[in-house]
Structure 1
Amino acid sequence: MTTSDPKPVLMFDSGIGGLTVLREARVLMPERRFVYVADDAGFPYGGWDEEQLRERIVTLFGDLIERYDPEIAVIACNTASTLVLGDLRSAFPQTPFVGTVPAIKPAAERTRSGLISVLATPGTVKRQYTRDLIGDWASKVHVRLVGSERLAGLAETYMREGFVDESAVRDEIAPCFIEHDGRRTDIVVLACTHYPFLVNRMRKTAPWPVDWIDPAEAIARRALSLLPKERRPHEPMPTEPDNAVFTSGNPDPAIRRLMQGFGLRS
């Protein structure tokens, strides 16, 4: 990084899901350099013991912050955010953190039927954080929490291979759709950053049309709001390319190609 470059924005996810947030962040922050960190050695997070995963992520960030000195860190992963965001802020108070939490509040505000579903990983579904969001913002509507074991992996497969088993997608999203007293689910919150990569397949296999809430733009806007405003309009374009970092050190060649397609050097 040259002296003219601002500090990078660090974006962290268990795999490729955070690329949906990176895509939006680049639109809003074209002058910024990004470091995208994929914890592919730990993917998927769903099967981890909570304390072990918490310790892993905090330890990883000790190295990442020392290595990249980011202006801000975006945890582009619902599972990690609902588990460890508070620990990261306590451990690294000099670094602003932006988390990713289920978009329950906007869903509750927008629903007309009063029936919404939150499609997430099992870890996000079982967290008290998620249930507190429902209590705080959606107490007057019915919220169904749907924990999918397979969708994140299906998204990774789709992005690597360009193909996904649509019947598998249909089976994973089916519990989101409920009918009650003539009303139907009308909003599904995508509470995992991997899921927007499959949203077209979800629309195709859904039993009826719904609004699918993708939080990527809101996350990017929150990150932008925390950057130093006095410097942004005059900052030069970065002189170094955006980087992809893999915790395994040896990513799947297809994933490496995908990162290159997103303009990330690894």
Structure 2
Amino acid sequence: MQDRQPILIFDSGIGGLTVLRELRLLLPYETILYVADDAGFPLGDWEEPPLKERLLQLFDGLLVRFQPKASVIACNTAFTLAGEALRAAQPDHAFVGTVPAIKPAAERTASGLVSVLATPGTVRRAYTKNLIDSFATQCHVRLVGSDALAAHAEQELRGEPVSDEALKAEIDACFLEKDGRRTDIVVLACTHYPFLANRFRKLAPWPVDWLDPAGAIARQVVRVLGDDLYLEPVSVPDTAHFTSGQSTASLKRLLAGFGLSLAAPKN
């Protein structure tokens, strides 16, 4: 068992680093364990039953092996599908989930036209539609599913250029004009997407608020942990584990920029 219990951040790839970045600002002395199920990437392409089973089995092993104090599911696709099942399977463990930020978008919109940019898996979820029914009935909410943006974000972060045309094709459907009103908020319902937000702003046909939930997720972790916080730094390295076992120089360099060292693949 480790001397310090880490906060586990889970994603299908590198999108959860947007949450890690915000979490470090609020909890600088916590030990972070980053887990990327890149062997299953992109999770949005999976059928629901096998993906749910994969996530339950994966966390069975992770919680035993690393004994984290809390787990952040920094993936809308994973949490909207398996969040309830994970909490039922691990009732003594604290899970912090990631869901489309439809409620704050509905509260902020002036035009009443909101778009949710997400993976196809998140767009299909009953969970997402329930959020709309619960919090945004006064708005017109357009769900826009992208098969490619998560992969484009991974490419961009690894220094592989993605063309303006490729990005524009994925976000064009977010922009709606209706009865003299325009979409004024786009919810980034995948933690990969904030890495592309500056590109989105340049390509958008008019200015909108690109709603990034990473800060809200980090604040929820603080609330969940309460007083269970470390109050001084310690020389325990923060590590990243990738389920594919990949160990490229470009990935190591990328992770180092976020203060993570890539763990050796488990034999």
How would you bin the TM-score normalised by the shorter chain? over 0.9
Off by >6 Å, runs of 4+ in structure 1 = none
- Distance in 1, Cα, partners of 2:19 & 2:8: 12
Say what the alpha-carbon RMSD is for the aligned residues: 1.2
Structure 1 residue aligned with 2:238? 242
Alpha carbons 1:35, 1:244 under 8 Å: kept = yes
Alpha-carbon distance in 1 for matches of 2:226, 2:210:
32
Which residue of the partner structure matches residue 91 of structure 2?
93
Task: Provide the secondary structure at the position in 2 that maps to 1:255.
Answer: helix
Report whether the alignment pairs 1:172 with 2:187: no
Matched residue, 1:226: 224
Q: Distance in 2 between matches of 1:112 and 1:50?
A: 35
Q: By how many angstroms is 1:236 displaced?
A: 1.9
One-letter code aligned to 1:157? Q
Whether the 8 Å contact between 1:8 and 1:35 is mirrored in structure 2 is yes
Instruction: State the one-letter code of the partner of 2:91.
Output: P
Q: Counterparts of 1:32 and 1:79 in 2: how far apart (Å)?
A: 26
SS at match of 1:169: helix
C-alpha separation between the residues in 1 aligned to 2:184 and 2:246?
42
CA–CA separation in structure 1 for the residues paired with 2:155 and 2:248 = 11
| CA contact 2:43–2:77 (8 Å) conserved in 1 | yes
Paired positions, count: 262
- Out of 72, 75, 78, the residue aligned to residue 76 of structure 2 is 78
Percentage of identical aligned residues:
59
Provide the secondary structure at the position in 2 that maps to 1:118. strand
Instruction: Decide which of 127, 135, 138 is 1:137's aligned counterpart.
Output: 135
Q: Match for 1:179: what amino acid?
A: E
The corresponding residue for 1:24 is: 22
In structure 1, the gaps of 5 or more residues are none
2:253 is the alignment partner of 1:257: yes
| 1:88-141 Cα shifts (integer Å, max 9, x gaps) | 111111210000000000000000001000000000001000000000000001
User: Is the Cα–Cα contact under 8 Å of residues 13 and 39 in structure 1 kept in the other structure?
Assistant: yes
Give the Å deviation of 1:251.
4.1
Instruction: Identify the range of structure 1 (246-255 vs 177-186) with the bigger mean alpha-carbon deviation.
Output: 246-255
TM-score w.r.t. structure 1 length? 0.96
Task: Report the residue type matching 1:200 in the other structure.
Answer: N
For normalisation by structure 2, the TM-score amounts to: 0.95
Query: Matches of residues 1-266 of structure 1 in structure 2 within 5 Å?
Result: 3=3, 5=4, 7-161=5-159, 163-229=161-227, 231-232=228-229, 235-266=231-262
